[in-house]
Each structure stands twice: as C-alpha cells, then as structure tokens.
C-alpha cells in the first residue's frame, strides 16, 4: 500500500471494507504528522494549520487553526482544556465520516491528537453517534493500540506532552451534532444548545476552554503536518484548499462517497463519479450538502463545490454530500420527509422551532393528502421567516427552513399542482401513509 498524495484522506481505506491497523498505518507514514507536530510546539502547529486555511468540514467552513486560537492561553486560564471530535453525523443524506472512521480509524486518532496538542488540551473525546457500532469497535481498538505504542497517554514520544483520549457513544438525537448541545450531552445532560457567547473556546466542556472539530477536518491534519501548506493549497481547484469528501445519494447509477479536489464541479461529481442518473429518470434538483441546505437546480451543475461558490448560488456546501431530486420523486413529499425529521429532532428549547416545525409539517401533510389550500403557500413562506436565523436558539430550525424555502422558489408549480388537483400528482401519498399507523399505536 502506498499513500496516494492526491487522495490523502482515503488512500488507506481498503475496498474490501477491512480496517487499516496500526502496523499498516505506521508503514504508510502513519503518526509521522504527530511526531512532527510534537517537535514544532503548539503555536507552530496552530500557525501552520491557519496558513493552510483548512476550513471546517462539519458544515460551517470555519478555519480550524483560527478556532483553536480563540482559546485563552493556559497561562491566562490555567486548568483543564478539551478537544472534542464531532462524530455525530446525523444530518440526513450524510455518510462521509463513517467511511473515514471505519476504514482508517488511526488517521482520526492521529488528527485528533495533533489538534489536542495545538490546543494544549490534555483530554480528547470522540463523540460518536449511536448507530455507528463498527466505527465504535474500530476506534476503541485504534485508541488502545495507539496507547500501547506510546502514541497517546503519558509523555508522548518523550515530548513531555500527555493526552488521554476517550470514545463516547451517543444515544441518538440529531441536535447532539450542534457543538454546544454536544457539550451538554457529553456532560451527561439533555442535549440542548447553549447560548453563545460565551463560545466553547472560552467556556465549553465542564466550563473549560474547548474546541470542537469535525472528523473530516481532523483527518486532514496528519497530512498538512507532513506535506505542508503549499502541497495542501495545490490540492484544491478553486478558492479553497485541500480535498473534500463528496457523496451522492438518490437515483444515480453509482451512489457513493469519493475524495476529490475541493472545488470539483457538481456536474463532474454527479455525471462522472456517481455515473449519472439511473435509466429513465431525470435530475431536477439537489441539496448540495445534506438535508439542511437549500435546493439548487440543473442550472447550477457547473458550479464548483466549494464553500464560497455554493453560498453565492444561495445554498451551502454543508457536508458536501448531495441528495438528488429526480423527476419521479415528489418535491413536496421530499420536503415533508425532511420536515418530519427536523420536527422530530427539535430539542424543544425554543418556541419558534418547537411549534413552527409541527405547524409546517401539518400543512405539508395536508397538502400531500389532497387538502392543500392556496393560502398555504404564503403561510409556509411566513413560517420559514419565523424559524429563521435570529428567531431561534440554534441553527437547527433555520436549517429546516432551507430546503422548504428553496423548494417553494424552484418547485412552486409542484406545490400548486397538489393544491389544484387536491392530491399528490406523484401518486399515493407515502408520507401520509407512513403516519396512518401511528393512530393504532400499541405499546411495545
């Protein structure tokens, strides 16, 4: 096995689904990045990652190096500090972090150790979603192997730096992915988001300085340390640096996840890598980066999938995993499915989200069942405003509004057809059927 320097994050992931173990990882330059980091000192690592302009891959695209730099220095605020890996991955349509953790768990362990060192944290947690049993198993082994090899624990490689790393497995709630809710969850509480400020970097886990980074973000670090800023910048095509894990799901020939230069066009991802649409179906639109991003349409196929370009087009790159809407799938039904999810997963902390989402859900359920009214369209738009940024305590509700508001813009004729025809033009109303059972609910 030899590292593919153009696909640094995924080159060690084996096609047969088996795991890359410590010996294989080390034989392929594994833990060289950490060793180099230990020799550079925390501020050296922080500056390097800042210069590399590594943008967070969890969805918001915030500079990783800059994030750590907002933590007060240990001199200014002595005591414990924490680095948390966000491995909750519950955004509908997102399946990239699982791939990294199942295939190459040591890469994450090394990346997390480098981040913890830069942030001068003595404890690191991997917050893993509930259903990722295989990831949990493999990460436990990787952490244990790394400890036994002296790559974690006391005085790593004689550097004087000590780090404890723990795996924490969640019990299933989408809101746990929001970083302040994640921190509450890690403290063993209900996962409700905290008000910001104070930001976690200042007062996070157990009230101490804390940084939260996504799995894919962290997996970039060993490579940036080893190969440097220029190499990293050279990997990207457009304005962003590095590679990106892109995924496609929906009715394509080859749904999957690939590591490609960041800035690859939507068209190349869908047509070349995903093999194009299945025979007999046409593409109508897509959510570029998970269920909480605005729809884009076939007009946008030639856009580069990077943070800035997709934002300019009115959406977000989000997690980079696209969900495709085809001409045989009902856009109203698709939005309803997403709203069902967000309404269920709302933490209930603030009223616009707690009440607004079920309200929207009811309107859409009625519309799918042939009881839509033309006023509903204005009402839906108005409700999107009520749950928008500034009115809610966290970004879950605005995220829920994104596919709806953009569907109202791009697929208005589909909403109107539901109302005019008093039925779903795509046939049976599946969403409604899915809930008809709940009235006859038997307890388990």
Ligand X SMILES: Cc1cc2nc3c(=O)[nH]c(=O)nc-3n(C[C@H](O)[C@H](O)[C@H](O)COP(=O)(O)O)c2cc1C
Residues of this chain that interact with other proteins (CB under 8 A) are 80, 89-95, 97-98, 125, 129-134, 166, 168-174, 185-191, 206, 247-251, 255-257, 287, 291, 321, 323-326, 329, 333-334, 337-338, 340-341, 344-345, 428, 430, 433-435, 437-438, 440-444
Asked if 130 interacts with ligand X (CB under 6 A), we say no
Do 406 and 294 form a contact (C-beta atoms < 8 A)? yes
Instruction: Count Cβ atoms below 10 Å from residue 132 Cβ, excluding itself.
Output: 20
Identify the residue among 9, 31, 89, 115 touching ligand X (CB under 6 A).
89
Q: For residue 197, say if its preceding peptide bond is cis, omega within 30 degrees of 0.
A: yes
Asked if 185 interacts with ligand X (CB under 6 A), we say no
Query: Which residues does 374 contact at the CB level (< 8 Å), separation at least 6?
Result: 416, 419
Asked if 321 interacts with ligand X (CB under 6 A), we say no
Joined tokens for residue 360 = 């929207």
Query: Of 88-96, 98-106, 306-314, 370-378, which segment contacts ligand X by CB under 6 A?
Result: 88-96
Asked if 250 interacts with ligand FES (CB under 6 A), we say no
Q: In terms of CB distance, is 61 or 333 closer to ligand X?
A: 61
Do 316 and 59 form a contact (C-beta atoms < 8 A)? yes
Q: In terms of CB distance, is 43 or 344 closer to other proteins?
A: 344
Q: In terms of CB distance, is 154 or 230 closer to other proteins?
A: 154
Q: In terms of CB distance, is 128 or 350 closer to ligand SF4?
A: 350
> How far is 254 from 416, CA to CA, in rounded Å?
33
Name the maximum alpha-carbon separation found in the chain.
73
Asked if 287 interacts with ligand SF4 (CB under 6 A), we say no
The CB-of-192 to ligand FES minimum distance in angstroms stands at 25
Do 311 and 289 form a contact (C-beta atoms < 8 A)? no
Asked if 56 interacts with ligand X (CB under 6 A), we say yes
For 127, the enclosing helix (H) or strand (E) is strand 123-128
The CB-of-213 to ligand X minimum distance in angstroms stands at 4
Joined tokens for residue 222 = 């060993």
Q: In terms of CB distance, is 30 or 92 closer to ligand FES?
A: 92
The CB-of-276 to other proteins minimum distance in angstroms stands at 15
Alpha-carbon torsion angle 101, 102, 105, 107, nearest 10: -60
92 touches, from ligand X, ligand FES, ligand SF4, none (C-beta below 5 to 8 Å by class) = ligand FES
Identify the residue among 3, 40, 60, 202 touching ligand X (CB under 6 A).
60
Do 323 and 291 form a contact (C-beta atoms < 8 A)? yes
Do 252 and 270 form a contact (C-beta atoms < 8 A)? yes
Strand order in the sheet with 210-214: 164-169, 123-128, 82-87, 210-214
Query: Which residues does 20 contact at the CB level (< 8 Å), separation at least 6?
Result: 12, 13, 14, 28, 103, 104, 105, 106
349 touches, from ligand FES, ligand SF4, other proteins, none (C-beta below 5 to 8 Å by class) = ligand SF4
> How far is 233 from 223, CA to CA, in rounded Å?
12
Asked if 179 interacts with ligand X (CB under 6 A), we say yes
Do 56 and 63 form a contact (C-beta atoms < 8 A)? yes
Joined tokens for residue 42 = 């925390």
Joined tokens for residue 327 = 């001409």
Q: In terms of CB distance, is 260 or 394 closer to ligand SF4?
A: 394
Q: CB-hemisphere CA count at 13 Å for 180?
A: 18
62 touches, from ligand FES, ligand X, ligand SF4, none (C-beta below 5 to 8 Å by class) = ligand X
The CB-of-89 to ligand SF4 minimum distance in angstroms stands at 17
Do 230 and 243 form a contact (C-beta atoms < 8 A)? no
Identify the residue among 67, 173, 393, 418 touching ligand SF4 (CB under 6 A).
393
The CB-of-61 to ligand X minimum distance in angstroms stands at 7
Q: In terms of CB distance, is 25 or 125 closer to other proteins?
A: 125
Asked if 320 interacts with ligand FES (CB under 6 A), we say no
Identify the residue among 54, 245, 394, 423 touching ligand SF4 (CB under 6 A).
394
The CB-of-351 to ligand SF4 minimum distance in angstroms stands at 8
2 touches, from ligand X, ligand FES, other proteins, none (C-beta below 5 to 8 Å by class) = none
> How far is 64 from 212, CA to CA, in rounded Å?
9
Do 138 and 126 form a contact (C-beta atoms < 8 A)? no
Identify the residue among 346, 405, 406, 429 touching ligand SF4 (CB under 6 A).
346
Q: In terms of CB distance, is 8 or 92 closer to ligand FES?
A: 92
- Which residues of this protein are in contact with ligand FES, per CB under 6 A? 92-93
- Which residues of this protein are in contact with ligand X, per CB under 6 A? 56-60, 62, 64, 86, 88-91, 175, 177-179, 212-214, 217, 394-396
């Amino acid at each position: 096995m030899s590292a593919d320097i153009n696909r640094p994050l995924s080159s060690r992931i084996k096609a047969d689904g088996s795991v890359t173990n410590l010996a294989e990882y080390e034989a392929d330059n594994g833990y060289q990045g950490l060793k180099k980091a230990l020799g550079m000192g925390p501020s050296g690592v922080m500056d390097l990652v800042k210069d590399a302009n590594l943008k967070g891959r969890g969805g918001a695209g915030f500079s990783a190096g800059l994030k750590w730099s907002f933590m007060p220095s240990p001199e200014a605020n002595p005591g414990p500090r924490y680095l948390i890996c966000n491995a909750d991955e519950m955004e509908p349509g997102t399946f990239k972090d699982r791939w990294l953790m199942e295939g190459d768990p040591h890469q994450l362990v090394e990346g997390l150790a480098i981040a913890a060192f830069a942030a001068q944290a003595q404890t690191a947690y991997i917050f893993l979603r509930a259903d990722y049993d295989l990831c949990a198993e493999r990460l436990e082994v990787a952490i244990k192997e790394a400890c036994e090899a002296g790559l974690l624990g006391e005085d790593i490689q004689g550097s004087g730096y000590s780090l404890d790393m723990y795996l924490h497995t969640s019990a299933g709630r989408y809101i746990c992915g929001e970083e302040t809710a994640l921190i509450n969850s890690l403290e063993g509480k209900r996962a409700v988001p905290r008000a910001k400020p104070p930001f976690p970097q200042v007062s996070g886990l157990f009230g101490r300085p804390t940084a939260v980074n996504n799995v894919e973000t962290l997996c970039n670090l060993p490579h940036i340390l080893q190969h440097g800023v220029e190499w990293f910048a050279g990997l990207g095509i457009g304005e962003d640096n590095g590679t990106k894990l892109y995924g496609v799901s929906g009715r394509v020939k080859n749904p999957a996840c690939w590591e490609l230069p960041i800035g690859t066009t939507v068209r190349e991802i869908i047509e070349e890598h995903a093999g194009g649409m299945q025979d007999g179906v046409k593409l109508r639109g897509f959510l570029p980066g998970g269920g909480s991003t605005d729809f884009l349409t076939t007009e946008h196929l030639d856009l580069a999938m990077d943070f800035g370009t997709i934002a300019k087009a009115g959406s977000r790159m989000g997690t980079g995993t696209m969900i495709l809407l085809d001409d045989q799938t009902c856009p109203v039904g698709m939005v309803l499915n997403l709203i069902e999810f967000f309404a269920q997963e709302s933490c209930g902390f603030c009223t616009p989200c707690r009440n607004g989402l079920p309200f929207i859900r009811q309107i859409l359920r009625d519309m799918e069942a042939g009881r839509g009214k033309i006023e509903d369209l204005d009402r839906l738009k108005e409700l999107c405003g009520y749950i928008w940024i500034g009115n809610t305590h966290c970004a879950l509700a605005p995220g829920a509004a994104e596919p709806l508001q953009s569907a109202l813009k791009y697929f208005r004729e589909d909403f109107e057809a539901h109302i005019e025809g008093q039925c779903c033009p795509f046939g049976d109303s599946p969403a409604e059927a899915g809930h008809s059972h709940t009235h006859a609910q038997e307890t388990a």
